[in-house]
Structure 1
Amino acid sequence: MEKEKIAAVAAPSRTTCHGKAVSLKNVIPLSMVRAGERVKVKSISGKDDIRRFLSSMGFVEDAEVMVVSEMNGNVIVKVKGTRVAVSKSMANRVLTT
């Protein structure tokens, strides 16, 4: 029990756009998801303008995303029924489980 408490406190955390705490344990950036895998968006890191931009493309909390391919450093994903391409730096900001 004590180890679980320590692990919970030691695990890095972040907040969602709604202010809820998100544990970064078992979370990976979208840029590291392999083609064909389906993941859920946990949170978006970055400034408000970056969050708004990614949100306008469908990257919102709990959205299901499938990585289609990677091409010339861009990540092509299917989100909310639409294929979109995002740069690797933007894909790094989308944290998924």
Structure 2
Amino acid sequence: MTAAQLPLAMVGAGETARVARVRGDSDLCQHLASLGFVEGAEVKVVSRAAGDVIVNVKGARLALNRTMAGRVAVTL
């Protein structure tokens, strides 16, 4: 049984999730991968507002807008 995936934009503040996949063209996927959004990476949501999120990933704190956060599928 596989865990249900949801967009990173829907993860609540204080929750930790794992990246399942990144949707988008190759340039976008490469950009997000260079930031640490690779399959299996642990992502902690620090705060969120209207779909925009601030996360900790691979020791860095990053902000993603709703569109970018919606392209990162995670499992809780």
> TM above 0.5, one fold?
yes
Distance 2:43 2:49 in 1: 17
Between Structure 1 and Structure 2, how many residues are aligned?
A: 75
Q: Which of the pair has the greater relative contact order for Cα pairs under 8 Å at 6+ separation?
A: 2
Consecutive aligned runs of 4 or more in structure 1 exceeding 4 Å deviation: none
TM-score computed with the length of structure 2 as normaliser = 0.90
2:32 is aligned, of 48, 54, 62, to 54
Distance 1:31 1:82 in 2: 18
TM-score computed with the length of structure 1 as normaliser = 0.71
Tell me the residue number matched to 1:84.
62
Structure 2 unaligned spans of 5+:
none
Structure 1 unaligned spans of 5+:
1-7, 9-22
Greater radius of gyration (CA): 1
Tell me the residue number matched to 1:34.
12
